Amino acid sequence: MLFPDAAFRLDRSRNATSQVFEHLRELIVSLAVAPGTVLPRPQLCDYFGLSQAPIREALLRLEEERLVDIFPQHQTRVRGIDLASARQAHFLRLSVELEMVHALAQQPDPALERILLALVARQHACLAGDDLAGFTSLDIEFHRRMYEAAALPDLWSMMRSASGNLDRLRRMHLPLSRKAESILEQHTRIARCIGAGDAVGAQAIVRVHLSGTLNALDALRERYPDLMLPADFAPASLAA
């Protein structure tokens, strides 16, 4: 079986390509499918119970997000973590979220603070139960709720599509050096600063919160050298 620890059930009411894309993306971003893994299309068709067309379209979307490399007439392979892509996603996300929390704190909403703190409480429970997958899902939900409160849903979608490589680094970093505990503390402080109308404080915490993984990049590269693209990597389509 191609993905022995994963389960897929097609929802006939939704677009099949989108479901294949979402499922494969989560497997790749969570590192359940490691960089370098070959994804044979016949096996993907068997796994998803679908024809070649939705599989091909889903893989093309993953290629656009720099999560797979497609070698025509040869193979599709999960791409090593692209550090240049991760750095650009970090810069974009930091720029947006600094302005976002400033705007949210300018108009404090007690209901939003309660929602965010409730998510933090659920994250605490996941961490206590050693459920890092649930912890990560709630981490994403915490930030999505802020984008929603700031009326920036399209920016959230754009941010998610640009962040695959950064998210893989974050998954690698999460079990190390009490990273999860620091996320809980920072989420709590962000929520309370927004609730208190402290725009400057919220921005200061967001800057620290979003920079932790890239600050640990040297340690991650040393620990997981086989998961990263080499610094001088050029995609086959750009090679001479």
- CATH number for the domain that contains residue 166: 1.20.120
Write out the two tokens for 69.
């490399």
Q: What domain range includes position 148?
A: 83-225
Distance CA 123, CA 134 (A): 8
Residue ending a domain, choose from 54, 78, 102: 78
pLDDT value of position 50: 95
Report how many domains make up the chain. Answer: 2
What is the domain-level CATH number for residue 48? 1.10.10.10
pLDDT at residue 97 tops 60: yes
Does residue 141 sit in the same domain as residue 204? yes
Tens of pLDDT, residues 100-152: 999 999 999 999 999 999 999 999 999 999 999 999 999 999 999 999 999 99
pLDDT at 38 > cutoff 70: yes
Residue 236 has pLDDT above 50, yes or no: no
Specify whether 67 is located in the same domain as 117: no
Taking alpha carbons only, the member of 206, 228, 172 closest to residue 90 is 206
Per-residue pLDDT tens over the stretch 188-207:
999 999 999 999 999 999 99
The answer to whether residue 199 is domain-embedded is yes
The pLDDT of residue 184 is 97
Let me know if residue 237 belongs to a domain.
no
Residue 10 lies in a domain: no
Q: Are 111 and 205 in a shared domain? A: yes
List of residues 6+ apart from 156 with CB closer than 8 A: 143, 144, 147, 148
Question: What is the percent of the chain with per-residue pLDDT over 90, rounded to a whole number?
Answer: 78
Contact status, residue 123 vs residue 187, Cβ threshold 8 Å:
yes
Give domain status of residue 6, yes or no. Answer: no
3-class state of residue 149 by DSSP: helix
